[in-house]
Chains A and B, each alone.
Chain A
Amino acid sequence: MTSRQVGCGSRTVAFRRWATRLAALGFGAAVLLSSGCSVGDPATGGADSHHVRLALSVPPSSLDACDSHQAANGAILIGNITEALTNLDVTTGKVSPGLATQWTETSPTTWQFTLRQGTKFHDGQAFNAEAAASWFKRLIDPNVGCYNNSSVLNNNVVSATVVDDNTVQIDLKEPDRILPIRLSFIDIGAPSKDPSKKATEPIGTGPFKFVSWSPGSNFEVTRNDEYWGEKPQVDGVTYLFRAESSVRAAMATTHEVDIATAIGPQDADMPGAVSYPVSESMYLRSDLTVAPVNDIRVRKAMNYAVDRQKFIDNVYRGHGTPASDIVIPTVTGYNPAVKWDYEPDKARELIAEAGAAGTNVKAPIQIVTERDYRGSNGSEAADTLSAMFNAVGLNTHVVTVEDTQTAMTAPEAQSTEAVEVLYAHGNSYGDALISWVGKLGCDGPQSRLCDKKFDDLLAAAGSATGEDRKAKLQAASQYIYDNVVPFVYVAGMEDTMVIANPNLHYTPNAGTNDKLVLAEMTFGGSQGS
C-alpha cells in the first residue's frame, strides 16, 4: 500500500512536470505565432467620428465600373466612387442630370448628351466627351466583357462619338425610349492605361475616392474634397465583408460597425433595424410544356393556392407584401387590375376542371430552389409553397440545387417532370418593359415563352412614352394575366439593415441594394431607434 502511494505520487509529479513542459511549449509556440499577427481589418471610426464602418454580405466581384450593375460592386461603386450620366430617383421614377446636364433624342436610334463642365476624375484627368466616348467604346468591346453592356444596355449600343468637347453622341441598334433611365446604371470610370483589362483600382468622378482594397478583409474610401457637387458629411468609409447575417447583426449590436446590411428575418426586429421594400419580387417560373403545368387552369390554380400573407409571415416574419406581378407597384406598367388572391376553393375547381379535360393533374411537379434562397432558411420558402399546392390537390415536391445551377441554367431542361423554379427578380429601372422582354419576350434570355401577340404589345409599349407607354404596358400585363399566366407570383421582398450608430441618419429605399449612396448619410442628434 505504501509503495503504491509512493509510486502514484512520483507518477503524478512526473506527469505534472512533463505536462507543464508540453503545455508551455504548445501554448508558447501558439502565442508566439499569433502575437503581432495582424492580417487585416483596421479599427477605424467610432461613435463621434464621421468615418462610417459598414458590414456588407458579399465583397465586390469586380472593381471596374463597367461591372457596376452587379449588386456587390454597385453597392460600393455607384454614386460613390463613380457616377453616371443621369440619376434615377427610384421612388418617383424621375430622371435627373448626373454627369450629363441635358440630353436629346436626335433620331429614334441616336441620343446626344451634354456633359457637365469642369469635372475631373480622381486622378486629375478631365471628364469630357472624349473620356465619355472612350468609356462607352470600352463598355461595348466584347474583348473586355463588361457586365453592364449586356445587363443594362441589352447590347444595344453601336457606338459613341465625340460631337464637341462637351457633347457625346450614342448610337443604338434599336430605338430605346428609356435610354436615359438605363444610363443611370452605367457609371463612368477614368480612361485606363490598359483598357482591355478590368480595372483593379476604381477611379471615377464621384464624391468618394478609392483608398485600398484588402481582398477578404476590407475596402476603404475617403471623401473627395474636390468633388463638383455638394460635399457629403461622411469623411470616409470602411467596408467589411461578413457572409453570415448573424455575424453582421452581432457586429451592429457590439458597435463594431455603424451599419450592417442584409440582415436576416430572424434579426429584423433588433434595435436599430430598419426594414424597407426593395425592387425585387419572388415568383415561380412555370414550365409551360410539361403536364400538368402546361394547362393554364393548373397555372391559375397554383396562383389561387398561394396564401401569400401566410407565406410572408411564416418565411419572412411578416417582412414583405403579397405580389401579383414580377414588378413592384411603383414600376411603370404595373397593372393594379391584375390581382391574385388566396382562393383555395377556386384552385380546387380549376384543377378538377383540368383533370376532367384530360390533364394529368396528379403528375409530379418539382419546386426547384436554391438553399437559403433570398434570406430564407434552407428550403423553407419552397417547402411552404409546395405544401400550399399539395393542399389543393397537386403533387409537388421540392428539389434543392446549387445556387449557380438555378441561376445560370434552365432546370426545366434537366427534368422530365414539370418544373417550377423559385426566383426573385429585381427591377431597379422603374420600367416594366425591361423585365417582361427579358423574362417573357421571344428573344428574352430567361424566357420560356414566345407569344407573337405579346411581343407586339411590348414593341408598341417600347416605342411610346409617358402615360401612353404606361397604358400599353398595362395592356401587355393584362394579356399575360388573361392568356398565359407564366409565373406563380409570391411576394414583394423587404430587406433589413441595422443602423447601430444613433448619430448616423440614413433612410434606405428600393434602390439601396443596387447603390448604397454614402452622400445620403448625415450626422446629427440621436435617431431615436
Chain B
Amino acid sequence: MTRFVLQRARHGVFSILGIVVLVFLLSRLTGSPARLYLPEDASDQVVAQFNAQHGFDKPVFVQLLTFLRGTLRGDFGDSLLYGQPALHVVLTRYPATLMLAVVAMLIATTLGVLIGARAAARKESLADKVSRVISLGALSIPDFWVGIMGIALFAVYLGVLPTSGSAGPAYWVLPVATLVLRPTGILAQVVRTSMVDALAADYIRVAKSKGVAQHSIVFKHALRNAAIPIIAVAGVLMAGIVNGALVVETVFGWPGVGNLMVTAIHGRDFAVIQAVVLVTGIAIIILNFGIDLAYSWLNPQIRLGK
C-alpha cells in the first residue's frame, strides 16, 4: 500500500510540474502581457517600465525559472486588480466554489445512486425506462440554459427564489440545482449499468443460495463491487464541477474562483490567472489521488498492480 501511495504521489508531483510549465507557456502565448494589460495608447516608455517591473523584459527561460521559484514559495506575484498576493486572492475565493461543489456533489451522488440502484433493481420496468430517459435528459442539458431557465421560472415567474447572489440559504438553491442536474444524470446511468452487471454476477447467485438477506446482497455485496466505476465517474464529475463552476458562478454572480477567473481574464490579471489554474490543477490532482486510494481500498488488486 505504501508503495502504491508513493507511486501515485510521484505521478502527482510530475503532473503539478507539468501544469506549472504549461501555465507559464500558455500565458506567454497570448502575446505581450504589457500590450494586453496597458491601453493601446500606452507609450513605449510605459510599456518598457511595465515589462521591467514584472520581469517580462528577461529571456523566457529566465522568466520560467523565476516563475518556478516563485511557485515553490507560493508567490505568483501581486494581483494587478486587487493589489494583493495572487495566491491569497485565489484562496479567499476557493471556499465559495468548494462549498458549492461539495453540496452539489453530495446531492448528485445521493440522487444518482438512488435512481440508478432503483432502476437496476427494477430492470426494464417502467420506472427503469423513465429514469433512463430523465437521466439522459439531465446529462444532456447545458448548465447555462438550465441556469437561465431556472431564474426565469423560479425567480421571475413564480417569485419564490432570488435570481442570483449568495446572501443566504435561498440563494444556494438555483446554482446548486443547476450544478446537480448533469452529474445526477451521469451517475444514475453509471450506477444502473454497474449494478445490473454486479447483480448478475456468480457471487450474487451464491450469496442468494446461501440465504443472505436481499438488502445485504444489493447494497453490501453488489454496490461495493459496482462502486469502482461509480467512484471514478464521481471523481471526474467533482473535478468538472470545481473546474466548470465557471459558467454557473458567472450566471448567478457567485463569488467563487470561476467568477474570479472570468474577471481576471477580462482584467488581464496574469498573476491571478496563473494562480487559479495552478491551484485548480493541484486540487484536481489531490482529488484524483484520493480516488486512486479509494480504488485500491475497494479493489486490492489495483494496488498490487494486477
Contact = CB atoms under 8 A, between A and B. Distances in A.
A46 to B, nearest CB: 14
Interface in B11-64: 30-31, 35-36, 38-43, 45-46, 48-50, 53
Given A22-B110, A155-B41, A155-B43, A17 B215 contact: yes
A247 interface: yes
A95 interface: no
B254 to A, nearest CB: 8
A33 B102 contact: yes
Dominant SS at the B interface?
Answer: helix
A250 B151 contact: yes
Interface string B246-257: 000011111110
B266 interface: yes
A253 B156 contact: yes
Nearest to A37: B99
A374 interface: no
A154 interface: yes
Contact of B255 (A30, A216, A246): A216
B93 A408 contact: no
Contact of A150 (B36, B38, B89, B118): B38
B165 A40 contact: yes
Given A246-B148, A408-B36, A14 B219 contact: yes
B245 interface: no
Contact of B49 (A42, A145, A256): A145
Contact of A14 (B46, B48, B218): B218
Contacts of B255: 39-40, 214-217
A58 B43 contact: no
Interface stretch (B169-177, B227-235, B290-298): B169-177
A40 B168 CA distance: 8
Contacts of B84: 200
Given A30-B103, A39-B166, A240-B165, A404 B268 contact: yes
A211 B100 CA distance: 28
Interface string A19-44: 10011011101100111111111110
A286 interface: no
B214 interface: yes
A360 interface: no
B49 A142 contact: yes
Contacts of B133: none
B159 A254 contact: yes
B46 A149 contact: yes
Interface in B144-164: 148, 151-152, 155-156, 159, 162-164
A193 to B, nearest CB: 13
B39 A151 contact: yes
Contacts of A27: 106-107, 110
A197 interface: yes
Interface string A58-80: 11011000000000000000000
Contact of B171 (A26, A41, A214, A216): A41
B96 interface: yes
Contacts of A256: 162-163, 165
Contacts of B287: none
B155 A254 contact: yes
A393 B294 CA distance: 65
Interface in B208-225: 213-216, 218-219
B277 to A, nearest CB: 16
Interface string A141-152: 011010101110
Interface residues of A, number: 66
A151 B103 CA distance: 46
Nearest to A15: B121
Contacts of B266: 58, 61
Contacts of B148: 244, 246-247
Nearest to A257: B163
Interface string A90-102: 0000000000000
Contacts of A253: 156
Contact of B260 (A23, A197, A216, A409): A216
B82 A240 contact: no
Interface in A1-28: 7, 10-11, 13-15, 17-19, 22-23, 25-27
A8 to B, nearest CB: 9
Given A240-B165, A242-B164, A14 B214 contact: yes
Contact of B213 (A10, A35, A43): A10
Contacts of A229: none
A433 B182 CA distance: 54
Interface residues on B, range: 35 or more
Given A14-B215, A250-B163, A408-B35, A34 B253 contact: no
Nearest to A256: B163
B48 to A, nearest CB: 8
A33 B215 CA distance: 30
A438 interface: yes
A446 B39 CA distance: 11
Nearest to A152: B41
Contacts of B168: 38
B194 interface: no
Interface in A392-411: 404, 408-409
A61 B267 CA distance: 6
A440 B163 CA distance: 45
Given A18-B219, A62-B81, A217-B255, A408 B31 contact: yes
Contacts of B82: 200, 215
Nearest to A58: B266
A242 B118 CA distance: 40
Contact of A404 (B36, B102, B172): B36
B280 interface: no
A493 interface: no
Given A10-B213, A22-B113, A40-B166, A143 B263 contact: no
Which of A43, A155, A214, A250 has most chain B Cβ within 10 Å? A250
Given A215-B263, A244-B250, A61 B81 contact: yes
Interface in A201-221: 214-217
B178 interface: no
Contact of A40 (B155, B167, B214, B219): B167
Contacts of B80: 62, 198
The 5 nearest A-B residue pairs measured at CB: A14-B215, A26-B110, A216-B255, A41-B165, A142-B49
Interface of B: 30-31, 35-36, 38-43, 45-46, 48-50, 53, 80-84, 89, 93, 95-96, 99, 102-103, 106-107, 109-111, 113-114, 117-118, 121, 148, 151-152, 155-156, 159, 162-169, 171-172, 176, 213-216, 218-219, 250-256, 259-260, 262-263, 265-269
15 contacts: A11-B121, A15-B121, A25-B110, A37-B172, A42-B167, A143-B53, A145-B42, A147-B39, A150-B46, A250-B156, A251-B163, A254-B155, A256-B163, A409-B31, A445-B41
Given A43-B167, A200-B84, 9 more contacts: A11-B214, A14-B215, A18-B219, A22-B114, A23-B110, A33-B99, A150-B43, A200-B83, A251-B164
